[in-house]
Amino acid sequence: MRLNQCQNFHDFRRMARQRLPGPIFNYIDGAADDETTYRRNTQAFEACDLVPDVLRGVAEVDMSVTVMGQKLALPVYCSPTALQRLFHHDGERAVAAAAGKFGTMFGVSSLGTVSLEEARKISGGPQVYQFYFHKDRGLNRDMMARAKEAGVQVMMLTVDSITGGNRERDKRTGFAIPFRLNLSGIAQFAVKPAWAINYVTHERFRLPQLDGHVDMGGGAMSISRYFTDMLDPAMSWDDVAAMVREWGGQFCLKGIMSVEDARRAADIGCTGIVLSNHGGRQLDGSRSAFDQLAEIVDAVGDRIDVMMDGGVQRGTHVLKALALGAKAVGLGRYYLFPLAAAGRPGVERALELMRVEIERAMKLMGCRTVAELQRRHLRFR
C-alpha cells in the first residue's frame, strides 16, 4: 500500500502491518487477556446513533475546543504513548510536528523515546507529560520539575497501570524491551528486514526521561522490570493530592472510570480527567470509556474537564463523545499505525482525514460549533 491510498484507520493498520515485524505490530495492536475490552471500545460507538438537524445554514463550522486551559483547533488530541521510535525512527518528533501543524495537543510519555525538551521545541501546540508514579518520591519531584522547566502545560498522571496487563500476544513472540525474542519472534523480524535496517542505521534507541534508570542495552532494567520494580502499587489519593499541589497547574488523571473516582479527582484539585481503560491493555472486561461517559459528565462535568479515549476510529465517534459532554477526545492507535506506516506524513494524513471527517459530520449534523452538539442528537440501541 501507498500512503495516499489510506482513507481510514483500517487502511493505516493494514499498511503498518505490512511494514512492521510481527512482534512490534502486535505490541501496538494487542491488548490484555481475551482482548474483549479492546473490541468493546469501538463497538460502544456503534451502539449509538446520530440524529441530525437539517436546514440550519451550516456553511462553516468551528471545530475548536478549550480543555484544561488549552485552546485546540480540533476536538481531538494525540494521547501520549510509549516507545514511539520503536515504530518509526522519528517517533515523538513526528507526532509533535503533526500536532503542531493541526493546532492540537500531544503528549510525551515517561517511557517516551524523545526528550520532553526536544518535543517542546518542535511543536507550538500544548504539550502533555504522561507520568508514572514511582516508589522514589525524589524521582517524581525531579521529573515534575523537569517538565515544568521544559514548558509542559499539562501534567497527566496515569492511574490504571500500577502493574502491567496480561498481553498474551507479546508472550507468544517473547516481545520485550530490551529485545528478548523467542524463535517465533526472531523469524518474524527476519521477514521484515527493512525495519531492522532502519532501526540500526538511526540513533540509539533510548528513554530520555528515564536515563540512568532503564538501560536499553539490558544492563540496568528492562521495561517489564520498570513496571514491577520502580512503579508504586501503593499509590494513594493522598499521594496524588500532594502531586497536584506541587505541580500547581493543569493536572489530569488518566484512567478514571468510576463516578466516585471522578469526584475525588475534582475534590483534590485536578483540572481534568481522561476516562480510559488504556486501550484494553490493562484490565480486560472493563467497561468502555464511551459507555461510562454520560454518568461521569453528569456527576462532575461542571467541576472538571472530562475527556475520554479508547476505540476512536472515525470523526463520527468523536462527535458522539462530544455530544455526551466530553471536552476533547484522545487518539492512540489511530495515529500510531500511520506513524509506523509512514512517519510524520502518515500522522499528518491521519489527522487531516480526521479533521475532514469531523467537519463533514458537523455540517451533516447541522452544528456550527462543538457546543451545539447535544445529547438530543443521540439515540442508543
Q: Locate cell 511494514: which residue?
A: 19
Q: Read off the C-alpha cell for 191.
A: 521477514
The band of 219, judged by pLDDT with boundaries at 50, 70 and 90, is very low
What pLDDT was estimated at residue 374? 97
Q: For residues 186 and 370, which has the higher predicted lDDT (pLDDT)?
A: 370
Q: CB atoms < 10 A from the CB of 371, how many? A: 10
Per-residue pLDDT for 206 more than 90? no
DSSP letter (8 states) at residue 54: -
What pLDDT was estimated at residue 186? 73
Element (H, E) at 49: strand 48-50
- Active-site residues, by number, are 278
pLDDT tens string 303-343: 999 999 999 999 999 999 999 999 999 999 999 999 999 99
- Least confident window among 82-86, 127-131, 173-177: 173-177
Mean of all residue pLDDT scores within the chain: 92
The band of 220, judged by pLDDT with boundaries at 50, 70 and 90, is very low
E-strand ranges in the chain read 48-50, 65-67, 70-72, 76-78, 106-109, 127-131, 154-158, 250-256, 272-275, 305-309, 328-331, 378-380
Per-residue pLDDT for 216 more than 70? no
Q: For residues 364 and 205, which has the higher predicted lDDT (pLDDT)?
A: 364
- Share of residues in the chain with pLDDT > 90 (%): 75
What pLDDT was estimated at residue 197? 83
pLDDT tens string 231-277: 888 899 999 999 999 999 999 999 999 999 999 999 999 999 999 99
| Pairing of β 48-50 and β 272-275 | unpaired
Contacts of 252 (CB under 8 A, 6+ apart): 68, 128, 154, 155, 156, 157, 270, 271, 272, 273, 274, 305, 307
pTM (2 d.p.): 0.93
Nearest to 85 by CA among 179, 197, 185, 205: 205
pLDDT tens string 89-119: 999 999 999 999 999 999 999 989 999 999 9
Q: Read off the C-alpha cell for 335.
A: 495515529
Most confident of 138-152, 186-200, 208-222: 138-152
- Which amino acid does the sequence have at 55? L
Per-residue pLDDT for 354 more than 90? yes
- Answer yes or no: are the C-beta atoms of 279 and 332 closer than 8 Å: yes
